[in-house]
Amino acid sequence: MSSTRFPMAGGRRLVLVRGGLDDAHRDDGGDGGADWQDFCRRIGWQPPGPAPADDFEERLGERLLVAASGARVSGARASGARASGADNVVRIDVARRPAIAPAREGRAGEVSEADFGHGDAEPAPSRWGRLGFAVAMTLAVAAVACFVVAKLVSSNLQTSAASLPELSAHADRQSAVAPSVDRALPVSPSVAPDVRSPHVEEPTAKPAPSARPPRFARPRPPGARVAIRSAEAAQEGRALAARRPAESDLATTDLVKSEDRPVAWGTVARDRVVVPVADSVALAPAPVRVSAGVWSNRGGATGATEPEQARTVGPSWSLSPANARWFGATVTPPLPRGVAPASVGVMAQLDLGKALGRL
Amino acid sequence: MMNDLHPLLAAHLQRHARMLYRVACGLGRRSDGEDVVQTLYARWWRRLRDEPGWTLPETHAELFLSVRRVVMDVAAKEKRDRVRDESAAGGAPQADSAEESLHAFERLQWIVGRLPAPFAQALTASLSAGRRDDAAVARELGLTVAAFTARLFKARRAAEELASYYELLPLDQARLMAELRYGGKTRAQVAHELGLLPDELAERARRAVDVLEKRRRAAS
């Protein structure tokens, strides 16, 4: 096979002929060409987007580390909560649920509050359980209050005979029983005397200085006005007095008459019903007074200026429907004149509106 | 920053992140391709922590399958959200690019899932690597370049046939034709699985072929 024997053969030559696939590859820079791209579209393969940035790997690594650190923090919180055995720890995933998070905007604490409180996804049995707990607590508080009232009543029965002349001074101490109501709702100073009350204020009672009412108001002269502590409160009191007729502002009756003229419970929120209970069996018929603000056995608790003759005797207690949400019961022991002011009191309040609202 | 990552993961990210991003774009996730890749690496990182002996996928076919799993999860979530939003709004489905991408991904899923395994492997590896890397893909699959090219050619024909089934036939007829053509089963096996008599199966197949030819003529 040498060129000498076969002069026509010449030197060895290799000829490469490109096939169709190679041509298709070179035309499109290696991505298959139009035919391949059409095939890709037919089977659902999307054409590639723009090339990622030069720092694509760096940014991806940073994002991975950030995501991992966030997961570690949340995992540590969850494990710490489990280790401490806390049951009331806010679960982040629960708090971030869209059912609760969009419901109220604000601080994160409100979200957790929604999770424990009025969440829509809360099962009904737990709400009933909380209601039962609230009712049980209410009954317990009421029982304690009744016990204290009974003790006070029994002590009054023993001491009232000796302290009858002195009890009028105690009526003024009642002004400190519900001071918040006193400040919030001053009433008209007009007072109708309770003519059936057997306990009459001593005529020698000293008039109280009206410039600065003390915490335990001293006896005031008949007709004296209570010093209203702010101009706003005074304006409100005058508006209240002008809104109601004078005869309905403070009505005095006994229990039988009170049935003839029942107090409208729905409209009594700004009225005061004064119901003396202690000593009433032994000493006096029970007068019922309708005034603004509070249920009580004393007008003094409201800061109203009563004639000393109109004051009744007995231990003080009051029910306060002055607020639409809070209903309070207050008890203080009666003490004769000269004894130190009452420093023992029981106050129980129940947010009935809130409790009913949770239903 | 990269030094804080798992060393194997950091090296893998440097080698394959761009290719994974391209696969994610090819699967219709061009808008959130980076998120898909990040999710994938986060899963791998967790698995490397939990199973120290586990090795990261390296071949193009494996990487394609990994990205496809993540995209399937993301697409399923998007589909649920879309159905929920549409039911809440009471309106017609939206016709935007995201919806088209979702349909394209479903089509690709349907086709790749019905291809014979060797064809699906060759096609997905080629899609992942791009046509310029046929030699590397052939080495990964343990084939010569010529054998890989021939297999890829058959895979492409099969994929185009399945795409025509998906486009032109109702879904039940498309499934039947794909099962008969590429299922690797005899007609008796297919009839047994579908609970049909052989004659009933033949009648259904004949009707599907008639519909397919009629629509192909109409399309051409």
* ipTM (interface predicted TM): 0.80
- Closest-CA distance, B183 to chain A, in angstroms, reads 18
B157 Rama sector, left if φ>0, alpha if ψ -120 to 50, beta otherwise: alpha
Chain A: residue nearest B149 by CA? A21
Instruction: Kindly report, residue by residue over B72-108, the tens digit of the pLDDT.
Output: 888 888 888 877 877 776 655 554 566 777 788 889 9
Judge whether residue B143 has pLDDT over 90.
yes
Taking contacts as CB-CB distances below 8 angstroms, the residues of chain B near A54 are none
pLDDT at B42: 93
Chain A: residue nearest B25 by CA? A48
pLDDT at B102: 78
Residue A86 has what DSSP assignment? -
Domain segments of chain B: what residues?
2-114, 169-220
Domain segments of chain A: what residues?
128-357
pLDDT in tens, chain A (359 residues): 444 555 555 566 676 665 555 555 444 445 667 888 888 888 988 877 778 888 888 899 888 888 887 766 555 554 544 444 444 444 444 444 444 333 333 333 333 333 333 434 444 455 566 777 778 888 888 888 888 878 777 766 565 544 444 444 444 444 444 444 444 444 444 444 444 444 444 444 444 444 454 455 455 555 444 444 445 555 655 555 555 444 433 333 344 344 444 444 433 334 444 444 433 333 444 444 444 444 444 444 444 444 444 444 444 555 555 555 555 555 555 555 555 554 455 555 556 667 677 66
8 A C-beta contact, residue B85 and residue B109: no
pLDDT at A353: 66
- Closest-CA distance, A60 to chain B, in angstroms, reads 6
- Range B180-189 average pLDDT: 92
Beta-carbon separation of A39 and B160 below 8 A: yes
Judge whether residue B124 has pLDDT over 60.
yes
| Per-chain mean pLDDT for chain A | 54
Taking contacts as CB-CB distances below 8 angstroms, the residues of chain A near B41 are 60, 64
Instruction: Kindly report, residue by residue over B13-72, the tens digit of the pLDDT.
Output: 999 999 999 999 999 888 888 999 999 999 999 999 899 889 999 999 899 999 999 998
Beta-carbon separation of B13 and A21 below 8 A: no
Which DSSP string do the residues of A60-73 spell out, in sequence order? HHHHHHHHHHHHHH
Q: Any idea what the Cα angle at residue A98 is, between residues A94 and A102, rounded to 5°?
A: 115
pLDDT at A10: 56
Query: Touching check for B98 and chain A: CB below 8 Å?
Result: no
CB pairs below 8 Å between A and B: how many? 102
Exposure of B183 by Cβ count < 10 A (0-12 exposed, 13-18 middle, 19+ buried)?
middle
Q: Report the residue from A36, A42, A60 with minimal CB separation from B17.
A: A60
- Closest-CA distance, A124 to chain B, in angstroms, reads 26
Single out the residue of A271, A314, A45 nearest to residue B106, CA to CA.
A45
Chain B: residue nearest A54 by CA? B18
- Choose between B202 and A68: higher pLDDT: B202
Single out the residue of B66, B56, B74 nearest to residue B5, CA to CA.
B56
Residues of A with CB under 8 A from a CB of B: 21, 24-25, 29-32, 36, 39-40, 42-49, 51-52, 56-65, 67-68
pLDDT at A149: 79
- Closest-CA distance, A119 to chain B, in angstroms, reads 22
Beta-carbon separation of B30 and A25 below 8 A: no
In terms of DSSP bridges, do strands A295-296 and A272-274 run parallel, antiparallel, or are they unpaired? Answer: parallel
Query: Touching check for B17 and chain A: CB below 8 Å?
Result: yes
Taking contacts as CB-CB distances below 8 angstroms, the residues of chain B near A68 are 42, 45
